[in-house]
Chains A and B, each alone.
Chain A
């Protein structure tokens, strides 16, 4: 009899105690975590925005720092969700055996992973919100009301990149393995998806690749919102983020079942 590890996830509210566990740990370690998560992207945004920006005329019709702001919200959110599911997730799964302890209670692996997923999105919401706060304070937006749409989008991005990252956690033998993901997936996305410069500056082949990457979809939603426009094809971009996150989560759950419950 061959076990099937890939039935659809069973979603229930049982993930909430798992989420609360992560939240309680986070609350205890919040200050170094906030510094690490937020200071870095903020410094990049301010340093590059003013430093490089002063050398450039406007980019896409706005000052460089205003252009960069949207990219920073998105990649900071992506990094936060990715780090959480990769490093912290792996530590809970493999090193501390937290998942194993939870599975001995009346919980399914679906609940555990769902808790990780939603938690990663919650934590990245915080990262994205911190950048948004700076954007508000510095007035790097056109319409305040439109920027409010960025908040749910940041959570959606957290689900997208959290779901993708969980796949890596599911198959990783050690922390070192995550380097591949950063080198082959995350860093190329940062460079190809329009964080630092418009995608239109890239050769057409790279533009074609870029169009398929989730970070591109995220930026195409957030940048117009910060520049006071309603994004074009918003439904399509939202769907793309949902698809990356959802497929990622589904795959990750199957792979983790195969890893832990065989």
Chain B
């Protein structure tokens, strides 16, 4: 039984269909990623799933409750980490957790009993009585996650959980999300970091223009949509090289500025050729989710 299902979800703003028919089924205990370029409809989809906004069409069921009709009571068992930190700046770390717990109808004593565990989990025990302004970006993010766990939720939504964090903080955040998964929690996250999705998610859906254009495990998506290896070639003579050899040595290639992305299943002939070239640098690597993403959603900027 999925913990969260959505069928035929649609949402239109003016002329723009931001969510244009989305179907999802998220299983208990999995980490499900919603990927997509800016404006693909990720955040709107999340708001629909949480029952904060009503869809124009479609049905949602979360934790056996119809959404948005029973959204409020379904959210008793859900945690949310929003894209922008919205901690209370006038409160200390501990007060933020206490005040938030009350919104779940928890008694002060219950919340107080839970706070030390959450502070330890988020490595903020030593900062329990610090004001929010005194915390670093990473600490605020960790507190936002701790706050989302105040009700011991079964299902946790994270909207771009590591945007704006330094590499150390991102890796720590990933460790914690894995720990939550190990405890049996279900995670739904949006991200546009492919490495994040590849590391954490059991399954993911790539969203573009309000539709799911691909769905599966990271490995499946790579195997289905893209050649196994990529050679990135940079340099001023790339164009000339591409006209001469590109067609024969690359199964498929994409040009982006002065770089050529050459996709192939057997890179050996290509690499042999490149070793004899001067004036170009190249990088040979296995294909990853980002290649799939760029292939499916294109290289144009979305802002």
Contact = CB atoms under 8 A, between A and B. Distances in A.
Interface of A: 1, 3, 14, 17-18, 20-21, 24-25, 28-29, 96-98, 100-108, 261-262
Nearest to B99: A21
Interface stretch (B49-57, B244-252, B262-270): B49-57
Interface of B: 13, 50, 52-54, 56-57, 72-73, 75-76, 80, 82, 84, 86-91, 95, 99-100, 102-105, 151
A106 B72 contact: yes
Contact of A25 (B56, B90, B105): B90
Contacts of B87: 101
Contacts of B50: 104
B102 A17 contact: yes
Given A96-B88, A98-B88, A106-B72, 8 more contacts: A20-B102, A21-B99, A25-B88, A96-B89, A104-B52, A105-B75, A106-B105, A262-B13
A28 B75 CA distance: 30
A18 B89 CA distance: 15
Interface on chain B toward A: helix, strand, loop, or mixed SS?
loop
A25 B91 contact: yes
A105 B99 contact: no
B72 A1 contact: no
Contacts of A20: 99, 102
Contacts of B52: 103-104, 261
Given A20-B102, A105-B100, A105-B103, A98 B91 contact: no
Contacts of B102: 17, 20-21
A106 B73 contact: yes
24 contacts: A1-B56, A14-B105, A17-B99, A17-B102, A20-B99, A24-B99, A25-B90, A25-B91, A29-B90, A98-B86, A98-B88, A100-B86, A101-B86, A101-B88, A103-B52, A104-B50, A104-B52, A104-B75, A104-B80, A105-B100, A105-B103, A106-B103, A106-B105, A262-B53
A162 B154 CA distance: 38
A103 B296 CA distance: 34
A87 B80 CA distance: 27
A100 B159 CA distance: 13
Nearest to B98: A24
B91 A24 contact: yes
B157 to A, nearest CB: 8
A106 B80 contact: no
Nearest to B72: A106
Contacts of A97: 82, 84, 86
Given A1-B56, A100-B82, A101-B82, A107 B88 contact: no
Contacts of B105: 14, 17, 106
Given A98-B88, A100-B82, A17 B103 contact: yes
Contact of A3 (B54, B86, B95, B99): B54
Contacts of B80: 104
Given A106-B72, A106-B76, A262-B53, A24 B95 contact: yes
Contact of A106 (B88, B89, B99, B104): B104
Contacts of A25: 88, 90-91
Nearest to B150: A105
A28 B95 CA distance: 12
A24 B151 CA distance: 21
A104 B87 CA distance: 12
Nearest to B106: A17
Contact of B103 (A107, A261, A262): A107
Contacts of B103: 17-18, 102, 105-107
Contact of A104 (B54, B82, B88): B82
Contacts of B91: 24-25
A104 B80 CA distance: 6
Contacts of A24: 91, 95, 99
Contacts of B75: 104-106
Nearest to B80: A104
Nearest to B103: A105
A169 to B, nearest CB: 17
B274 to A, nearest CB: 51
A20 to B, nearest CB: 6
Query: Could you say which of B72, B76, B100 has the most chain A C-beta atoms within 10 Å of its C-beta?
Result: B72
